[in-house]
Amino acid sequence: MESREESAVNQFYESVPKQLLRDLFVSVLTNYQQADKFTKENYPWQEGLPIRGYKRRADIEVDIRAVAAKYFNDGAKAEAEPNCTGGWYHTVLRVGEVAMVASKVRNRKSMVNKSLFMHKLAADNAQIEFSFVRTKKKVVRIDRPAPKLTAVLVHGYKKGDKSRPDFVLIRFPDEECKNWIGTIDLFAVFREVLVNFYAKPMVAADRIKAVRLRKNVIKKESEGEGA
Amino acid sequence: MKSGVPGFRGPYLTEAIECRGLSSASLADLLGISRSAVSHYETGLHTPSPEVFEKICKTLNLPPSFFTRPSFPVSQEVVFFRSMNPAMKVPQRKALRRLEWLQAITGYVRAYVELHDLDFPKFSSFKDPIEISDSEIESCALRLRAAWGIGSGPVGNLVRILENNGFIVAYDDFDSTMDGVSCFDDEGIPFIIVSRSSWAAQAREDLAYALGHLILHRYVEKSRFGINRDFAILRRQAFRFAAAFLMPEESFCLDVYAHTLDALRLQKAKWKVPIGLMVRRLQDLDLIDAEQAKKLWINRSRRGWRTEEPLDHDIPKEECRLLAESIKLMVDESAQSKSELLYALPLSDRDIETLTGLPTGYISDSMPVVSIIPPEKRTAPSRSNSGDKGQLISFPTRNAPTKEKRRKIN
């Protein structure tokens, strides 16, 4: 019998095309780089410090929707949904039986911040796939058809270099959204992408092939130049 | 026939007028002589007096020897332009003349310097554009990349790659409507001239487009270029080649994680091609449908990216160096002096410097000429640098007097 983690990972891969996952991964790498570049180019570091995170988050959310649009024919759909207070939005990507949101965390062991929408999604998750686990909290019912698996794209920056993530993971929360029950490490899955992304661009030979005088050309004694 | 400057040849005056983008009438106005006089000089009915001749040379910035020289060899091969619009005839004639001058300069340089042999794989000699399928174009582009050892990533310095493989490339001051011109000469040397005022990414697209014509359409009958329907096919094929050469399907698709302008903008820094060409590529590869492409084109216009795209200022222009290096070698090795060069090439030093990429003032040892940037290519200072911007005040509209008003005035 497969473990909870295996079950979640297998179910995830059944619904989400690997190419979509790859595009999301590239988008995260790109947006880390771009947000850092943007703030460094436009603001003194003091002002840029808080802006970087907001810019990165906004761009990642926009890109999740753009990537979903690219895989529309595979059933991917992403929408920005308001949170319970209506003052903040989060993008939920739905593909097949998976619902996924993105979140930045402090380190790879961290749990996502407390948020009602994640609790709701995680609760839905538990109702169906992990129903054998005893739920401690009352499950919140939501109107839309519940996905069978909830995933969170978690990422966090590298210490000392905020232009690149230290980890990008797909993680599956438990029914109370307090622990992770499964993980896909995108750095390991897309190692080649990662290497190519940060590889220094190959500098094509800018050197011109040497030209030489024809053999039969007679060189003259040096004479005064000038038109 | 009246006596005038001996050896003066009328057709060269026409050539000079075309090359400077003028008309006979405007030259007459500049010289302060009648239009019929200029016309007579052109047809060879009359020759100009020494005084008028001196004025002509000064106005057209050409040495007197230009008008009395033996003719430059003219290629009989088909010449490729980006548009066959009748409105483009004047700039096309100018480009064609400049191409002839470039061929003349190259011919002179080749007599002294061993330039690189043309190196590209043998492609099918298509005579009918309908024979050329999209898969054939993709395959040609990939074969060329393989032959030139470019790999599957972004093309580095395209000018250098072309020059190292036997192409003669030059930038020239074309009109804003003219992108470039290309052709083979009678000895099979490919020539490409692109507009100097284009941004670097656009110039790379223009070069790849010209390369597409040179590789795919060399053997297509000249007459097919005059037929609108056929030219549309030829043009589309050259664009497809340009896009396939600059952005191979396999690697480009992996990089474009989303089909949005913002995602494409990020790729521009890596691939160094205009965003417009990327949209075209996505459509060519059926990654987006016509409706999605239309949305991208509309958004591109809405963002004002038709005239200037993001990163246009940041991508450095690729310099043409082959002819400049060759001429410097001739001079440095005392094979020819600068004065001999000017004598052998009856063109102005400025023309030679422009077409070969030599630094301004190299031939005449003079101070660089300060030229005025054409108004349409003047770039606004970047936002970060602009201290205080002037306020734009529109001209007051004034209605033209109606016929009745004019009658009253009269």
Query: What is the pLDDT, as a whole number, of residue A222?
Result: 53
Residue B337 and residue A220: Cβ atoms within 8 Å?
A: yes
Residue B114 and residue A203: Cβ atoms within 8 Å?
A: no
Residue A204 and residue B262: Cβ atoms within 8 Å?
A: no
- Taking the C-alpha atoms of residue B173 and residue B198, their distance in angstroms, rounded to an integer, is 10
Percentage of chain A lying above the pLDDT 70 cut: 76
Q: For chain B, which domains are there?
A: 10-67 (1.10.260.40), 80-302 (1.10.10.2910)
Q: Which of A63, A60, A12 is nearest to A170 (CA)?
A: A12
C-alpha distance across the termini of chain B, in Å? 46
Q: Which residues of A touch B259 (CB under 8 A)?
A: 66, 69-70
Give chain A's mean pLDDT: 81
**Residue A109: is its pLDDT beyond 90?**
no
Query: What is the pLDDT, as a whole number, of residue B78?
Result: 87
Tell me whether residue A167 is in a domain: yes
Residue of B163, B296, B326, B334 to mutate when probing chain A, most A C-beta within 10 A: B334
Q: Which residues of A touch B342 (CB under 8 A)?
A: 227
Out of A70-84, A205-219, B88-102, B222-236, least confident range: A205-219
Is the Cα torsion angle B95, B99, B104, B108 positive or negative in sign? positive
Tell me whether residue A116 is in a domain: no
Tell me whether residue A118 is in a domain: no
Residue B334 and residue A27: Cβ atoms within 8 Å?
A: no
Tell me whether residue A65 is in a domain: yes
Which ranges of B155-227 would DSSP assign to H, the alpha helix? 158-164, 200-216
Residue B160 and residue A205: Cβ atoms within 8 Å?
A: yes
* Crossing angle of the two packed helices B24-31 and B35-43, in degrees rounded to 10: 120
Q: Which residues of A touch B319 (CB under 8 A)?
A: none
Percentage of chain B lying above the pLDDT 70 cut: 88
Query: What is the pLDDT, as a whole number, of residue B403?
Result: 55
Query: What is the pLDDT, as a whole number, of residue B84?
Result: 76
For residue A37, the chain B residue with the least C-alpha distance is: B266
Tell me whether residue A133 is in a domain: no
Residue B163 and residue A208: Cβ atoms within 8 Å?
A: yes
Q: Which residues of A touch B335 (CB under 8 A)?
A: 213, 217-220
Taking the CA of residue B115 and the nearest CA in chain A, the distance in Å comes to: 6
Look at chain A and count its residues: 227
**Rg, chain A, Cα only:** 25
Tell me whether residue A129 is in a domain: no
- Taking the C-alpha atoms of residue B66 and residue B70, their distance in angstroms, rounded to an integer, is 9
Would you give the distance in Å from CA A204 to the centre of its chain?
30
Tell me whether residue A84 is in a domain: yes
What would the pLDDT profile of A41-94 be if each residue is shown by its tens digit? 999 988 988 899 999 999 999 999 999 999 999 999 999 887 766 667 889 999
Q: Which residues of A touch B113 (CB under 8 A)?
A: 211-214
- Taking the C-alpha atoms of residue B40 and residue B52, their distance in angstroms, rounded to an integer, is 13
Q: Which residues of B touch A193 (CB under 8 A)?
A: 254
Give the pLDDT band (50/70/90) at residue A185. Answer: very high
For residue B21 the two structure tokens come to: 């983008």
Residue B160 and residue A206: Cβ atoms within 8 Å?
A: yes
Tell me whether residue A141 is in a domain: no
Q: Which residues contact A67 (CB under 8 A, 6 or more apart)?
A: A20, A23, A24, A27, A76, A78, A93, B257, B258
Query: What is the pLDDT, as a whole number, of residue B71?
Result: 84
Query: What is the pLDDT, as a whole number, of residue B391?
Result: 64
**Residue B129: is its pLDDT beyond 60?**
yes
Out of A174-183, B34-43, B198-207, B396-405, least confident range: B396-405
Give the pLDDT band (50/70/90) at residue B91. Answer: confident
Residue A206 and residue B156: Cβ atoms within 8 Å?
A: yes
Taking the CA of residue A193 and the nearest CA in chain B, the distance in Å comes to: 9
Give the pLDDT band (50/70/90) at residue A132. Answer: very low
For residue B117 the two structure tokens come to: 């042999």
More confident residue, A18 or A223: A18
Rounded mean pLDDT, B8-35: 91
Give the pTM.
Answer: 0.81
Q: Which of A42, A59, A211 sits opposite B329 (nearest CB)?
A: A211
Number of structural domains found in chain A: 1
DSSP one-letter string for B322-378: HHHHHHHHHHHTTSS-HHHHHHHS-S-HHHHHHHHTPPTTTTT--PPPP-PPPGGG-
